Every structure is written in structure tokens, then in C-alpha cells.
Amino acid sequence: MSQPNPVDAERVAIAEAWIAQDPDPETRAELAAIVEAAREGDAAASADLADRFDTRLAFGTAGLRGEIAAGPNRMNRVLVSQAAAGLAGYLLEHAEPGATPSVVIGYDGRKNSAVFARDSAAIMAGAGVRAVLLPHMLPTPVLAFAVRHLGTSAGVMVTASHNPPNDNGYKVYLGGAHHGSQIVAPADAEIAAHILRVAESTTVPELARGDFETAPESVIDEYVRQTALVADPPAAQPRVVYTAMHGVGWETAARVLAVAGFDAPVVVADQISPDPAFPTVAFPNPEEPGAMDLSFARARQAGAELVIANDPDADRLAIAIPDHASPEGYRRLTGNEVGLLLGWRAARRVMAAPGAGLHGTLACSIVSSPGLEAVARVHGLDFQATLTGFKWISRAPDLVFGFEEALGYLVNPETVRDKDGISAALAFLSLAAELKARGTSVADHLDEFVERFGCFASAQISLRVTDLSRIGEIMASLRARPPAEIDGIRVERIEDLTHGFGALPPSDVLRIVLEGGGRVMVRPSGTEPKLKVYIDAVGAEGTVAERRAAASDAVARLEAGMRELIG
């Protein structure tokens, strides 16, 4: 039997210290078995310990997100307790003299979400922060709303959104001058430093725990009331199928739709209740192939004119419409298509508002469709492109609408400063009702968009890797040997955002601008081990069909060329 080397012995000792402070019997037992195997010379167990303990799950502007398991490089009660104590330290440090900072905490239906939320509330209360826990599992947008509605210093949402079933996460929002937006630099680094100090100086049993409050149901009532104002009274009632994707969206969405005057949708019964196992989908993300198959089947049965899908924490929205050319009979619209239609709706509403004049900003992330800028230009509104994420989109000045292509839409910035799949669903349903009352459809409206603004086609390449260094190698190669053309389309310039660009802060992004109005964006994913490539092209001449053909052809060529470049 081989003996553990000194490094393994050190890791074993660190792991044993972790077990001693872990309040979760499941992760304690899991780690104890790995430690025992490492002691006996098991190389795989030693490698597992190294992966779990040689680094920490990084706290950044997206908070924390990872697999539920033992160790500092996983999501667990020890890590969450340290995060709560660190966030409390940050809030106390930044509080006005004599003032007590406050936090509201929400959670979804994932494994351990409620436990992580209650641990956080008790530990933050014990540190001297007024802690308020939402009364039960709720969508992320309700938490984002509660930060502003309750006037708290911060908010925490325990969710991993649409990640795999055994993941969880920890999103942080700031109140006050931040208006309930997610954190940005330098707050992320400051909070991370506080968390690290806690981890290095205190064990979890030593963290004081205090009494926390439970928010009243009236917080949810007010979210429902204000969100329902997104829609005008419906002039028609489209036939709708809705799925919550095994998440927490249905109860709140149903109330919002009812208050707004819409008939109850037909639901996908197998996916309507929260279930942390997500049994009917391989990956609980409406963007993933197959994720909406049950929705399409239910829609065929119901003769639905619209399919609405929220992701598990209901901050994202997917829309599908009838399409006789599709084998399923329905086609999921891309995030860009939904974003452009909602952006056009928002622009028209600004223009129609009595006495408001032409005022406001349409915003989207730099990897989302440039078509939104065309909408803003035609309507005389301001436009702002931001870095990826609603932590940036939500901060655009005079914002009236914002979106990103990954199914995120911000349609009511005076209520929620984050993507909100419930308010966006209501806004899109309201649009569909207007169209039905006029005797037209969403598909017809997409043609109207192309006729007025041009066809903005898009595609995406998502390269998942097992070795994260591969992403860095590809980015370095593109910088060292920039392409002069992509599948015969000439590159006009490449903009490297490493050190910032214009008003954009630094980011690991390459923007390739091509002849004819095409554009390719390349960046590492912020939450998953992926390299993401976003491709856009425009067709602005000829009939609707000719514009679509030109844009689609350019996108296909750019996608083929980029696949060759990145391997």
C-alpha cells in the first residue's frame, strides 16, 4: 500500500478541519470517505482533495455558483456561512455612522436553497445586520424587487438559475444608490476579501447567530400589483401554454397574469411544481435542445398560439410560436428576436406616453443583437451597449428597456433592476394580445420588424471545455494571430476590450467587425466552462425574404469560419 506524500497529509489535515466545522451531515460523510481513501493512498481521492481544497470557489460580480459538495471549491453550508459573514462585514463597514445595515434574502426550490438562506439570515443577524427572509421559495425577480421595496442595504438570492440539478449559487444585490442592481466592481473584490478573512480566522460554529425577520406576504402582493401594470387591459386572449421548468415561477406568474386580466394559461403539468431533481429535462434551461419538448407537445394538444417558459428561478423567459415548418409544430424564438420585439414595444410606449416626450434609453449587452440600436435610432431614443450581465444593463441611465440574448429582459426598471422572466412574459403576452386583436400574429410582427429596421440574424457557438486553460489558449491565439477574413468576409477591425474600450470597462472580450455590417464577439463564459462566440449580420436591402436570406447567408459563413478558427 502506498503512503500519502507530505502534500496529501497536509490536505488531509485541512479536510479534517473542514469536517469539524461543517454542520451538514451529508457533506461531512462525503468528505470523510474521501479523506479515508486518500489516507490509504488512493490517487483519485488525493486528486479530488486537491480539486476541492487547493482553491476557493471565487466570489465575483455573479456572486458564487458551483456544485453542492464539501470543500471550499464547492457550494456547501461552510462556504455559504463564510459568505454571509463576509457580506455582513462589508455592509457594516459601509454603513452610515450609527445606522444598522439591512439585507433581504430569498431562495428558490433547488437542493439546499432554503438551508443556505436560513443560515445566511441567522449569521448576518448575529453579526449585527438586520436580516429579513422572504416567507417561502420565490422567483429571483421578487428578491430583486424586495431590495428596493423594503429599502434594504443589500439582497441575497440563493439560486443557480438554470444550472445542472446539483448546483447552487449566491447572488448579491445592493440597495441605496445602486437601486437594487447586482454588485459590480469594486464591491465584489471587497466582499471577497471580507469572506476570505472570515474563512482564515473563524470556524462556522464560532460565528454568532441571531434572530431574523420573515417578510410579510404583502411584499409579494406588491410585486404582483406593480408587475401587472406592465400590460394594458387585454384586447384579446391568446391561447397560451406555460411551463415553469420545475422551478418556482408558476405561482407568482399565475397571480400576475390574473391581475393583469389574462386568462389562465394551460400548464405543462409535469414541469409546473418546483422539483430540485428536474426529472423531465436533461438540463433545466429553455435554451437547451429538448428542454421545451413537453411544452410543444402540450401546445399541440391545446392549439396554443404562444408558449411561455420560465427558467427555474423565473428570471429568464423563452417564447415559442406556431411554425408549420418545424417538426414540433412550434419554434422557440431566439433571445434576440424576443428582445427586439420587446424593445420595439417599449419604444412605441415611450412615444405614446402622454407628455413624456422622446426620452429614455434602450440598452443591451455588447453580445446581443445590434438591432436594438436601430430601434432606438428610428424612435429618437438613446442607446447603450454594456458588458454582459444585468449588473451593467440595469445601470444604463434613463433606462426604459434592456435585454441580453441569453433570454434575459428588463421591462420595468422602476420596479425591478434585474432581468425578470415574469414581467417580460406579461409584456410579450400583452404584445401578442394586441396583435391578435388586430388580426395578425407574432410571426407577422417579426416580418414587420424586418421591413422597418432590417433583418438582424444571429448565431452562437458555445465551446464547452474540460480544461479551462484551453479557453485562454484560444483567446491568446486570436490576439496573436488576428484573422484578416472569416470565410471570405473581410475583417475591418478587431477591438480588444482587455483594457476597456470607449465607455466600456475592461473585459476579456474580442469584437471582430466585418465588412457589410457583420460582427463576431468572442468571450469566455462568466458562469460555465465555455468559450462563447456570438455572430451577428444584417440584411437591409430588398424584400423581407431577400433581407432574411442575405443575413442568414452571412451568419452561416461567419459561423463556419469561426468554427475553423477556434477548432
Q: Which residues are catalytic?
A: 161
Look at residue 372 and give its three-state secondary structure.
Answer: helix
Contact status, residue 126 vs residue 208, Cβ threshold 8 Å: yes
Residue where the block lists cell 454568532? 208
The C-alpha cell of 62 is what?
Answer: 455573479
Measuring CA to CA, which residue among 434, 445, 442 is closest to residue 235? 434
Virtual torsion, Cα 460, 554, 296, 401, nearest 10 deg = 70
Main-chain dihedrals φ then ψ at residue 561, nearest 5 degrees: -65, -40
Q: Note whether 192 and 183 are within 8 A (CB).
A: no
CA angle 342-147-348, nearest 5°?
Answer: 20
Separation of alpha carbons 385 and 370, rounded Å: 9
d(CA 321, CA 271): 19
With contact defined as beta carbons under 8 Å apart, do 52 and 72 qualify? yes
Return the C-alpha torsion angle 342, 458, 383, 153, nearest 10.
70
Query: How many CB atoms are located within 10 Å of the residue 552 CB?
Result: 15
Which of 191, 190, 174 is CA-nearest to residue 182? Answer: 174
Q: Residues 155-174, buried b or exposed e (16+ Cβ, 10 A)?
A: bbbbbbbbbebbbbbbbbbb
Residues 309 and 298 sit within 8 Å (Cβ to Cβ): no
Give the DSSP letter string of 485-518: EETTEEEEEEEE-TT-BTTBPP-S-EEEEETTS-
Print the SS3 string covering 281-319: CCCCCCCCCCCCHHHHHHHHHHCCCEEEEECCCCCCEEE
Q: Are strands 489-496 and 510-514 parallel, antiparallel or unpaired?
A: antiparallel
Task: Identify which of 223, 240, 177 has the alpha carbon closest to the alpha carbon of residue 429.
Answer: 240
Burial class (CB in 10 A: 0-12, 13-18, 19+), 246: buried
Question: Burial of 532 by CB count in 10 Å (0-12 exposed, 13-18 middle, 19+ buried)?
Answer: buried
Q: How many CB atoms lie within 10 A of CB 439?
A: 8
Amino acid making up residue 221: D
Counts for the chain of helices (H) and strands (E), in that order: 17, 22
Q: Are strands 154-158 and 102-107 parallel, antiparallel or unpaired?
A: parallel
**Which residue's C-alpha cell is 420588424?**
449
Distance CA 565, CA 510 (A): 14
